[in-house]
Amino acid sequence: MTGTLDASAVRDMMRAVAQSLIDQTDVLTNADLTIGDGDHGVGMRRGFEAALIALEAEEAASAEGAFKAVGTAILSNTGGAAGAVFGTLFRAGSKAFAASGVIDDASFATALEEGLAAVLKRGGVTEGQKTMVDALAPASRAARAAVGQGLAAVTAAATQGALDGVEASKAMIATTGKARSLGERSIGHPDPGAISVSLILKAMQDFTAGA
């Protein structure tokens, strides 16, 4: 119960995250078919399949490197808005682990904050527009609030924050991206990108439980 993940454990966690998202392709496809064009699931699968390969490389041997490798793989292989946004999330978040080389509760919360800041800047969006930000922002706040209670508590809090965000996104009207033109027809359905955020964090919670 050290509450930290060393470089090797980080790499294993990212493998688990990638596998989890690959396994849940259909969940994302069906969510996206409802309010988008249905390519979110296959896009994320392409990105995380490439991430599994990238995690074998030498550059992925550090905590920072593992996050960056996953981000770069998603950026290059998922494509579209999801590739830019999720690639940016992992690449910007990786910097939080540069100094210590490990993941603990405080650096994990920082990674979410830095990832969120970079995504907001890249996407030009704010909270409430029915995007992945609506899961990432509450997750980031919940993680920060739980710092001091250990890594397992922080990933659990972040996951719960993201799930609350997914739920809240149902009531939102999409005002950006391809779902924007649906307007009020988007009400009642969660944002697929927000679901992806919750799945990523849930996989991290499962991996870090007992850490």
Partner 1 sequence: MANPKKILNDVKRVVPEMIEGLALANDGRVYKLDGKPALIRKDIPDGKVALLIGGGSGHEPLFHGFVGKNMGDGAACGNVFAAPSPDVIAAAAKAVHRGKGVLFLYGNYAGDNMNFDMAVELLEDDGIEVRTVRVCDDVAAAPPERMHDRRGIAGDIYMIKVAGGAASELGTLDEVERVARKAQGWVRSMGVAVSAGSIPETGKLTFELADDEIEVGMGAHGEAGIARQKLKSADAIADELMDKILADLPFKRGDEVALMINNLGATTMMEMLIVNRRIRAILEREGISVHRTDVGTWLTVQEMAGFSVTLMKLDDELKRYLDMPAESLGYSRM
**Residues in contact with partner 1 by the rule CB under 8 A:** 29, 33, 37-39, 41-43, 46, 75-85, 122-123, 176-183, 185
Q: Which is nearer to partner 1, 170 or 178 (CB)?
A: 178
- Name the minimum Å distance from CB 166 to partner 1: 20
Q: Is 178 exposed, middle or buried (0-12, 13-18, 19+ CB in 10 A)?
A: middle
Task: Kindly state the greatest CA–CA separation across the chain.
Answer: 49
DSSP string, 117-136: HHHHHHHT--TTSSSTHHHH
Q: Evaluate the CA torsion angle 47, 166, 138, 6 in order and state its sign.
A: negative
Q: What's the closest the beta carbon of residue 88 comes to partner 1, in angstroms?
A: 8
CB of 163 to partner 1, least distance (A): 24
- The separation between CA 114 and the C-alpha centre of its own chain, rounded to angstroms, equals 12
**Min CB(82)–partner 1 separation in Å:** 7
Closer residue to partner 1 in complex, CB, 38/101? 38
Q: How far apart are CA 146 and CA 50, in angstroms?
A: 32
Nearer to partner 1, 19 or 76 (CB): 76
Q: Which pair of structure tokens corresponds to residue 18?
A: 């990638």
CB of 85 to partner 1, least distance (A): 7
115, 93 contact by CB (below 8 A):
yes
Nearer Cβ to partner 1, position 161 or 190?
190
d(CA 97, CA 209): 20
Contact call for residues 21 and 48 (beta carbons, < 8 A): yes
**Closer residue to partner 1, CB minimum distance, 67 or 86:** 86
Q: At closest approach, how far in Å is the CB of 60 from partner 1?
A: 18
Distances (CA, A) of 137 to 49, 58, 145, 162, 206: 26, 32, 13, 8, 20
Residue placing its CB nearer to partner 1 in the complex, 16 or 42 = 42
